[in-house]
Structure 1
Amino acid sequence: MNQRTPVRRTVRAAALVLLVLTTSTGCGGVPGTPGAAGLRDPYFPKLGNGGYDVTHYGLVLDADPAAHHLSGTATITARATQDLSAFNLDLAGLTVRSATVEGRPAAVNRAGHELTLRPDADVADRLRKGRTFRTVVRYSGTPQALTDPDTSKEGWLRTADGSVALGEPTGSMAWFPGNNHPSDKASYDITVTVPKGLTAVSNGELTSRRTAGGTATYHWHVAEPMASYLAMVAIGRFDTKTSTTPDGIKVFSAADAKVAAGSARILARVPEVVKWEAERFGPYPFSATGAVVGRPGDSGYALETQHRPFFPGTPDAGLLVHEMSHQWFGDSVTPESWRNMWLNEGFATYAEWLWEDDKEGRPVQGRFDAAFEDDDNWAFPPADPPTAADISHAPVYGRGAMVIHKIRQAVDDDERFFALVKGWTKAHRHGNASTADFTAYVEKTTGQDLTELWNTWLYGKSRPASKD
């Protein structure tokens, strides 16, 4: 994500459903206990849900942007991590028409953004720890933009000729029910039907497009694990381009018809940027890439949606490099919690510095020096933002990048430094990682005790007397 003012994000209120059990058999005679209604994220404690791990989302959507209407069927395949008597899903605004678990009707209670599903007793055995179960939720209504206290908007955003769905950090619950936390990644199939003349772009690979009557249906397949906040749908009148890189990566880019001509040159550089970043960060982690360019004002920020970032208007090269680097840092190696955002944004900002050094002759050290003098970067430690509203503030970006540069200086050998970075993206490919994982990895790889570096640059509350 690109930094902006006002900065994002903050926690959205979601009521906690309390399930009081009077017997050991749980709700409706189903053995077990309810899954937690929230994962106690440091900044978003009610985000996500406990008791299960989603392995696949099958989303079938029918969207009519002109009527501001969305209907959907979400088929959620999950593995129980405890014996479950009930479990929760996150969904904002839309009306649930029905829900089943293993084909049997499930009772649904709602409190704010929390859905509590109580399965039929006949399927109790399918909800025991380690078993896989399937939930189908049918829903519809007018999807909403969700407004954070910092005034930024996410969720389902209306555009001049369609819609765009963006999810960082909580917005995906505006258009599908799920376990809405970055720690629970899954594969996806996203099928979107729209009025004929519009295009529906999403994540992964486009596997089919068909028309019938006055509609067009697009099926997108995401084979690699994806966090819910990275799921995206963009609907509009797009000019699209497809190609394949020499390494076999499928490229699909789309630009709103109003900005397509002006975006063509920068979108043509996507394969170049992917190749350049792969040389520095390791093999590209996905089978598809590209970008989506909407009109200025479609959103207040660019976002690193998996496979193809979304841009509100034509990006410059630096912004393209930043968002594409998130395919490694954030999309493949996903933060364990929202406290670890600096691992995404610090590396992405450093990617910009590296690009300017390689392509424009502006040394990384100069960018570091400027960041050191910028008072905004010293507002708080990048690894410990004070509130949810601060997780995308300047220290997470600028000072986060400074941490990476200090590691590079400590290694004092570029070949070894970039080998370290490649090792990190390989070790946690398609997984989750925390700041503690990263610092331990760096010290083990370098063989150095870097306590002073972490205490000063990552956790320090004030600017050191010297940048050396």
Structure 2
Amino acid sequence: MNHSRPRAAASLAAALTALALLAGGCTAGATGGVQGTPGAAGLRDPYFPKLGNGGYDVRRYALTLAYDPRSGRLDGTAEITARATQDLSAFNLDLAGLTVDGATVDGTTAAVNRAGDELTLRPRQEIPEGEEFRTTVTYAGVPEAVTNADGTREGWLRTDDGAVAVGQPAGSMTWFPGNHHPSDKAAYEITLTVPAGLEALSNGVRTARRTEKDGRVTTEWHAPEPMASYLATVAIGRYRTVAATAQGSAAPAPSAPRSAPPGSLPVLTAAERSVAARSAALLDEIPEILARQTRRFGPYPFSAAGAIVTEDGTLGYALETQTRPVFPAASFDRTTLVHELAHQWFGNSVTPASWRDLWLNEGFATYAEWLYAEEYEHVPARRTFAREFAQDINWAFPPAAPPAAENLFDPPVYQRGAMVLHKLRETVGDKTFDEILRGWPAKYRHANASTADFTAYAESVAGKDLGGLWKVWLYGDGKPKKP
């Protein structure tokens, strides 16, 4: 996320209060005895304890969505392929606001209960531990955006001619049911049907585009690499799209356009027509910025890249949605672009184990800005460090321990997080730091990692105990006497 627009999450914490109906009571459609136990409603995240669900691991989401911008109605079918991590008699999905028309598990009708944002499904037969199962949920309604305490919004954001969907930390539950915690990543297939004349964009590679008999247009997107649900996105509207390629990055997926040369990365950018002209030059720089970041951070981790630029007023911040970050036109500048593209390595490929580990996303992406300024704008990182060290706002709390959910997107997570990395660089030297910078996203590629994982990794590469550095810069209260 763009560091210049910190966001509060207090209202989401309040919204995630409902407990699922687990073992008690019989529900219509449930027959026969089961010996398993219900999956947990909530994963006990330090800041969002009710977010996510236990008992299963999602492997793939296949979302089929049809949207009518005039009425705001969304019709959806979510097919969720998952593996049971325990013997399951029931399990939960996170879903806010929309009406569920029905659900099946492996083709058989499942009983459905609703309690707030918790959807409880009770299959007719228990699901044994280790077994893969497929859940299909049909739903519809007018999705509602979540308004945070600072006035920013997330979830399904309606526009004059379409919508933009973003979900950090939990707004994705406003448009599809799922296990909405960053620790459960999955592949995605997203199919969007919209009125003629509109573009429908999402993550990954566009694999098909066709006109239906009623004149509407359907577009299919394939995102094969694991993705946390908060990084899923949809943008519907009058967009101008441009296709390009970036060289020297990871090989594209088999579904990539055949026009892309071997060893190149398909890059698809989109900008609302009203802002397309002023966004075009910077969007054209994406292949070169990615090439530079690849040289510094290692191979690009996904099979597609790009960006989406929305009209002013739709969003109050930029977000690193996977493969195709979203920017409001008002804050679409080179620094923000560098930040959000760096997130593709730090945050998207290596995703935090819990929301407490968010500094691993934002500290690295912010330090990527410092490195870019150092290499290409001749501003030494030590000068940027000195500037941020002098700002009292960066010392409100340690980056690895925000005091509450509403502080997750405050300056210490970003700027002090970057200061931790600069002090690490000074301590271990440039050569070892560069090894850490490339090795960290390689070791945890497409996985989740915690702060403890990072400190242990850095010490293993450095070959020494760095406890003193972590104590002062990562966990210490207050500003050190000397930078």
Normalized against structure 1, the TM-score is what?
A: 0.96
Pairing partner for 1:20 from 18, 23, 32: 23
Give the distance between the partners of 1:249 and 1:180, measured in 2 at CA. Answer: 29
Deviations 1:172-194, CA, capped at 9 Å, x for gaps: 00000000000000000000000
Amino acid at match of 2:96: A
Structure 1 match to 2:202: 202
1:347-358 to 2 correspondences below 5 Å? 347-358=364-375
Structure 2 match to 1:432: 448
Does the Cα contact within 8 Å between 2:95 and 2:175 map onto a contact in 1?
yes
Say whether residues 1:95 and 2:99 are aligned partners: yes
Show structure 1 runs of 5+ residues with no match: none
Give the distance between the partners of 2:319 and 2:333, measured in 1 at CA. Answer: 14
Secondary structure in structure 2 of the residue aligned to 1:298: coil
1:264-275 to 2 correspondences below 5 Å? 264-275=280-291
Does the Cα contact within 8 Å between 1:188 and 1:221 map onto a contact in 2?
yes
Amino acid at match of 1:109: N
Structure 2 match to 1:459: 475
Structure 1 match to 2:145: 145
Secondary structure in structure 1 of the residue aligned to 2:114: strand
Give the distance between the partners of 1:101 and 1:150, measured in 2 at CA. Answer: 40
User: 1:150 Cα shift?
Assistant: 3.5
User: 1:8 Cα shift?
Assistant: 2.5
1:246-265 to 2 correspondences below 5 Å? 246-247=247-248, 248-265=264-281
Deviations 1:98-137, CA, capped at 9 Å, x for gaps: 100011111110010000000013xx3xx10000000000
User: 1:28 Cα shift?
Assistant: 5.2
Structure 1 match to 2:260: none
Which range is displaced more, 399-408 or 241-250?
Answer: 241-250
Give the distance between the partners of 1:418 and 1:280, measured in 2 at CA. Answer: 8
Give the distance between the partners of 2:435 and 2:339, measured in 1 at CA. Answer: 20
Deviations 1:54-80, CA, capped at 9 Å, x for gaps: 000000000111210100000000000
Say whether residues 1:332 and 2:332 are aligned partners: no
User: 1:152 Cα shift?
Assistant: 2.2
Secondary structure in structure 2 of the residue aligned to 1:67: coil
Pairing partner for 2:463 from 428, 437, 447: 447
Amino acid at match of 2:120: T
Say whether residues 1:344 and 2:339 are aligned partners: no
Q: How much is the aligned-residue C-alpha RMSD, in angstroms?
A: 1.4
Deviations 1:215-247, CA, capped at 9 Å, x for gaps: 100000001000000000000000000122223
Secondary structure in structure 2 of the residue aligned to 1:50: coil
Which range is displaced more, 183-192 or 8-17?
Answer: 8-17
Say whether residues 1:156 and 2:156 are aligned partners: yes
- Report the CA distance shift for 1:364/1:27 in structure 2 as closer, same or farther (over 3 A): farther
Pairing partner for 1:307 from 323, 340, 345: 323
Pairing partner for 1:76 from 53, 76, 80: 80
Pairing partner for 1:46 from 50, 58, 71: 50
Give the distance between the partners of 1:204 and 1:415, measured in 2 at CA. Answer: 34
Give the distance between the partners of 2:17 and 2:138, measured in 1 at CA. Answer: 21
Structure 2 match to 1:185: 185
Secondary structure in structure 2 of the residue aligned to 1:61: strand
Give the distance between the partners of 1:163 and 1:443, measured in 2 at CA. Answer: 45
Does the Cα contact within 8 Å between 1:80 and 1:131 map onto a contact in 2?
yes
Secondary structure in structure 2 of the residue aligned to 1:200: strand
Does the Cα contact within 8 Å between 1:59 and 1:75 map onto a contact in 2?
yes
Structure 2 match to 1:367: 384
Deviations 1:304-349, CA, capped at 9 Å, x for gaps: 0000100011611100000000000000000000000000000000
Structure 1 match to 2:70: 66
Amino acid at match of 1:374: Q
Secondary structure in structure 1 of the residue aligned to 2:9: coil
* Alignment: residue pair count: 460
Say whether residues 1:110 and 2:90 are aligned partners: no
Secondary structure in structure 2 of the residue aligned to 1:448: coil
Give the distance between the partners of 2:417 and 2:160, measured in 1 at CA. Answer: 36
- Report the CA distance shift for 1:75/1:361 in structure 2 as closer, same or farther (over 3 A): same
Give the distance between the partners of 1:20 and 1:69, measured in 2 at CA. Answer: 34
Amino acid at match of 1:232: T
State the identity %: 59
Give the distance between the partners of 2:477 and 2:4, measured in 1 at CA. Answer: 22
Deviations 1:24-49, CA, capped at 9 Å, x for gaps: xx985122000000000000000000
Secondary structure in structure 1 of the residue aligned to 2:137: strand
Secondary structure in structure 2 of the residue aligned to 1:417: helix
Does the Cα contact within 8 Å between 1:2 and 1:323 map onto a contact in 2?
yes
User: 1:6 Cα shift?
Assistant: 5.8
Amino acid at match of 2:358: M
Structure 2 match to 1:214: 215
Show structure 2 runs of 5+ residues with no match: 249-263
Deviations 1:254-307, CA, capped at 9 Å, x for gaps: 000001011100000000111111111111001100000001111111000000
Does the Cα contact within 8 Å between 1:6 and 1:151 map onto a contact in 2?
no
Give the distance between the partners of 2:16 and 2:183, measured in 1 at CA. Answer: 20
Q: Which runs of 4+ in 1 moved over 6 A?
A: none
Secondary structure in structure 2 of the residue aligned to 1:345: helix
Normalized against structure 2, the TM-score is what?
A: 0.93
Give the distance between the partners of 2:172 and 2:57, measured in 1 at CA. Answer: 17
Secondary structure in structure 2 of the residue aligned to 1:416: helix
Does the Cα contact within 8 Å between 1:65 and 1:163 map onto a contact in 2?
yes
Structure 2 match to 1:120: 124
Structure 2 match to 1:321: 338
Does the Cα contact within 8 Å between 1:27 and 1:85 map onto a contact in 2?
no
Structure 2 match to 1:35: 39
Give the distance between the partners of 2:85 and 2:31, measured in 1 at CA. Answer: 18
